Every structure is written in C-alpha cells, then in structure tokens.
Chains A and B, each alone.
Chain A
Amino acid sequence: MDENIIIADIKKFIETNILAGDITLDAESILQNVGIDSFSMIEILLFIQEKYNMLVPDDQLIPENFKTMASLARMVNKLSV
C-alpha cells in the first residue's frame, strides 16, 4: 500500500472527526502536541481497523506507532503485508 494514501486517509479522518477546524497537520506532526488524547487515539485505531480490515495486535499498540500519521501509516503497511 502507498503510505502517502494511508496518511491522506488518516488525515481526512482526524480533521473531520477529531480536530478543531483551524488546526493543520502534516505527516510528521506529533499527534499529542495538537491535543489528541488517549480517547482520540482509540478512535483512530478503530478507524484504521475498519478502513483496512485488519486487527492491530497488542504488540503493535505502542506509543511510537501512534506518534505521528507517518508512523501510523508505517504500522498499517507493515501489518498489511
């Protein structure tokens, strides 16, 4: 899967459902720094699982994978191989 497409999907979800309108994100923005909390992380996880029809195993639920949209995309890519 193209990581840029995954990033675009995640970005659209976050901007539509989680973030305030005037906040902009790029692939390497630290999600916690823009106010994304643990509850929102779970929303993002649920979106990824549904969108890419995958179950993210417990050992992948680590803060490093949920740090930025780019790290999330890398995790999705790795799991979809």
Chain B
Amino acid sequence: MKPLDKSILPEKVLLSGSDCFHRVLDKHAHTHRSGGNVMRIVFYFNTRLPADKIKKTFSDSPLIYWLCNIKLQKGPPFGIPCWRYRDKGNEMVINEYQHAVPNELPEIILQRDISLDGERFIEADIIYYSGNKTAFVLSWNHILMDVKGIGMLIHHLNELNSGNEDYEITLLFPAQEKKTGLFSHIKNMYSVKRFIEASSKAPIASIAGKNARSVVTFKNRILYFTAEETDTINEHAIQNGARLGDNPFYLSCCCRAVNNVLKQRQQTGTLWIPIPYDGRLKGSLGPVISNTVAFIFYRVPEKALANMKETVACFSSQMTGQIKEKMPRKYGLLLNLMRRIPLRLYYFLVNRSGEGSFASFLYSSAGETFNGLKTLFGETVSGLTIFPSPTFPPGLTFSFQKHREALNINMAYSPDIVDNPELHKIERDLKHFLLGINE
C-alpha cells in the first residue's frame, strides 16, 4: 500500500448552493432544538467486524483525512463560504460499543450532534452484539454531502480495502464551476421565486400543526419489507400508474397515510412536499463532497388524495411538468446565487417565504444507490438503513431505501408532533397502501 499523499488534497472547496441551504437547515435545527442536521447510515453484519481493518482503510483514504481536517470558512461579506483544509493531523475517530439488544443502536449515537464548529464533520461507530453480529454507523453533517455522496464514499472505501488505489482525486471533489451571467441568474431567480411562491401558497396542511413551536426529541421507527413484499410493492406501483419509477407511488402512500392522521385531527388541506433531485451526471463516481441536489416541489390538493391512482397521477404530472420546465436546474442556480447572502439574512428569507412552515412532511429516497451493495470492508452486508436528519418543522421524515431488493423505510419523527397512536396509524396505513391491502 502506498503512503497517503496529502499534497493532492484541495486547500479550498467552495460550498454548493445546496450545501448553503443545508447550513440554513442546520441553523434551523438548532433554533428549534431538533438535534442538528446530522445524517446516519447503518450497515449490519452477521459477523464480527474487525476494527483494525476499518481503521486501516480509513487511514489509507485521502478523502477521509481531508474530511477530518477541514474548517468551515464563512468568507468575506457577500462571498461564498468554503471548506478550508489545514493539515492538523486529525484522524477518523472510531467509537466502539458493546450493546445488548440486537440491531438496536445506542441512544448516545442517535442523539449526538455533529456541530459545524467541531473538529470533524464525519464520525464512525462500531456496535458489537451477541452472536458475533455487528453494526457499523457513519454519521455526517448533511452540509458536507448527500446520500449519493455517501454511496460514492462507500465505493471509494471498498476500492481501497480491496487494494485498488487507482482513484482520481479530482473526481471526489466538486469540479470548477461554470460561470453564469448575472442577467440570466436574475431572470431565472424571478421565475423560480414565482413558481415556489405559487406552489407553497398558504394554507398548507402540515403534520406539525399550527401551534408547534419547538420539539425536544426525535425518534426513529423502521419498517422492513422482504424482497417478495418489495416485488408486490413494485407491481402495485405500476398498477397505480407509477410506470417509470417508484417515487410517485411511494410519495402517494406517504401523503395518504399522513392525510389520514390529519383527518383524525380535522386539519386536512393541501399538502406541500419538496423532494430532493440529484443533479449529478449519471454513472459518475463523484463528486463525493458537496450536496448536488435540487428539489422538485409537489402541491397535492386534498381531492387528489381520494384514491391511489389520482394521487399518483397528481405527482407524475407535476414531476413531468417541472422536469420539462427544467425547474430543478433553475432552482439549483437560484441556490447557487443565494450562497452569497449572509446566513442570518438567508435564514430570515427562507423562514419568511414559508411563513414559518417548511413542508407538510419530508421525504427522501436513496433509489438504487445501495441496492446492489454486497460487501463493506470485505465483509458481507446483511442489511442497511439510513437515518434521515431530524428536521422540525415538520417533525416527520420518511427515508426510503432498498438493499438486496428489499425495501425499508426509516421514519424520523418527533413524539411532540406525532404521538404513539398516530405513529401506529401511519405505520399501518403506509404498509397497507404500499402492499395494496384493503384498497
């Protein structure tokens, strides 16, 4: 193995527009005491994972070294914030735990924040269970990278572990940005602003309700489906009109489950949901660093929730319309322009435009990113799930992912927003809608 060449690491990496938006979300999370904008991915193994092997792989990775030796620099007034690399010799910290309850994660991991003022923006934990089972957890501040980026980081670690050091370092970091004229930026800004204002126009029904101001804790509930059940779900998606991908169907199931709770509360209305849209060129191995997502915004009137086919059609037509209008790209350009706005002003503008409510609920899907992942650090991965960052409002996030053709849904919720009976109702209805039971 060749020694780690630190000279190839970039000293400065500009934050993307989406990174800066996550900076606002991080501030938002701390303002509302919802635990920081931290993402976690958990890999499960039916073997005892050797910590030394993991440490060795991490210490061979220039990318991991870079991640442990950067600071967020705000930049000059109306300048773009950036990551500044300084070789302080920090290495990845890997915490090890023994835990009694199989597959459960110690609360200390789930509640731990990764602060933007901290020494590192990425952390690793290994949890050993009885019967030689292990869980490996990677946690990172969402400002650093998105789920697709973590998928590429895992690919990079697997390549290193198998002795393949033939990576292209420039691929791992964002490419130099193309210059865009200010006039086209401003023209674009107004068209996107008009669209988002119309899309998110009040009143919007939200799981957070009208009076919730802050939350104390977040919890997670994970719904697992077998590969056979996932096949049934896929067929059911196509039968209901989601012909070119599962997202409109998954989203429809979430909307209808949330709407059933809102019905009980007598708080139904139009739902508004922003959905991440990956802006990377497909098939590329980078960039790992930076969020490259834009958003598609869905406005779902209550009447579109009457039956599944209507709900799926509502999502499909809005998705097609916004892709046709190149709205995600335009929104990405707007976010890039907003990078120059000081954080406090940015936060004020985002809060004002949403009139205090961000969305009815949040949703993300890892798509096929981890579906085919067989091994990590040379060991067979028996399962995985992604813990979405706890975000309030709205206080409920659905994260969909597939592994070995089996779907799981990780729901991050605040018990201050969704109580136990409501959570059980959402869980039961979601399962029924996905599997087509009692429809």
CB B303 to nearest CB in A, in angstroms, measures 21
Which of B282, B323, B324 has the most C-beta atoms of chain A within 10 angstroms of its own C-beta?
A: B282
Q: Are the CB atoms of A62 and B282 closer together than 8 Å?
A: no
- Interface residue from A19, A42, A45, A58 paired with B282 (Cβ < 8 Å): A19
Per the bound structure, the CA–CA distance linking A39 and B148 in Å amounts to: 15
Q: Are the CB atoms of B283 and A38 closer together than 8 Å?
A: no
Contacts of B282 in A (CB 8 A): 18-20, 23, 34-37, 40
Q: Are the CB atoms of A38 and B241 closer together than 8 Å?
A: no
Main secondary structure of the interface of A (DSSP, over half): helix
- Interface residue from A36, A46, A62 paired with B323 (Cβ < 8 Å): A46
Is B96 part of the contact surface with A, judged by Cβ < 8 Å? no
Instruction: Give the number of chain A interface residues (Cβ < 8 Å).
Output: 24
B257-289 residues at the A interface, CB under 8 angstroms: 277-278, 280-285
When C-beta atoms are compared, the residue in chain B nearest to A62 turns out to be B243
Is B212 part of the contact surface with A, judged by Cβ < 8 Å? no
Is B154 part of the contact surface with A, judged by Cβ < 8 Å? no
Per the bound structure, the CA–CA distance linking A37 and B328 in Å amounts to: 15
Interface magnitude class on chain B:
20 to 34
Contacts of A42 in B (CB 8 A): 244, 319-320, 323
Q: Are the CB atoms of A62 and B238 closer together than 8 Å?
A: yes
Contact with B along A36-72 (1 / 0, CB 8 A): 1111111101100000000000100111001000000
When C-beta atoms are compared, the residue in chain A nearest to B313 turns out to be A58
Contact with A along B117-152 (1 / 0, CB 8 A): 000000000000000000000000000000000000
Q: Are the CB atoms of B323 and A37 closer together than 8 Å?
A: no
CB B237 to nearest CB in A, in angstroms, measures 10
Is A32 part of the contact surface with B, judged by Cβ < 8 Å? yes
Q: Are the CB atoms of B238 and A63 closer together than 8 Å?
A: yes
Contacts of A43 in B (CB 8 A): 323
Per the bound structure, the CA–CA distance linking A32 and B323 in Å amounts to: 19
Per the bound structure, the CA–CA distance linking A46 and B428 in Å amounts to: 37
B234-267 residues at the A interface, CB under 8 angstroms: 238, 241, 243-247
Contacts of B245 in A (CB 8 A): 37-39, 41
- Interface residue from B244, B246, B296 paired with A66 (Cβ < 8 Å): B244
Q: Are the CB atoms of B283 and A61 closer together than 8 Å?
A: no
Which of A35, A41, A46, A63 has the most C-beta atoms of chain B within 10 angstroms of its own C-beta?
A: A35
Q: Are the CB atoms of B367 and A20 closer together than 8 Å?
A: no
Contacts of B324 in A (CB 8 A): 46
Contacts of B368 in A (CB 8 A): 32, 37
CB A79 to nearest CB in B, in angstroms, measures 15
Contacts of B285 in A (CB 8 A): 20
Contacts of B238 in A (CB 8 A): 62-63
Contacts of A46 in B (CB 8 A): 320, 323-324
Q: Supply 4 further A-B pairs (C-beta < 8 A) apart from A23-B284, A39-B328, A41-B244.
A: A38-B245, A45-B320, A46-B320, A63-B244
- Identify the B interface with A (CB < 8 A): 238, 241, 243-247, 277-278, 280-285, 296, 319-320, 323-324, 328, 367-368
- Identify the A interface with B (CB < 8 A): 18-23, 32, 34-43, 45-46, 58, 61-63, 66
6 A-B pairs with least C-beta separation: A38-B245, A20-B284, A35-B282, A61-B243, A23-B283, A20-B281
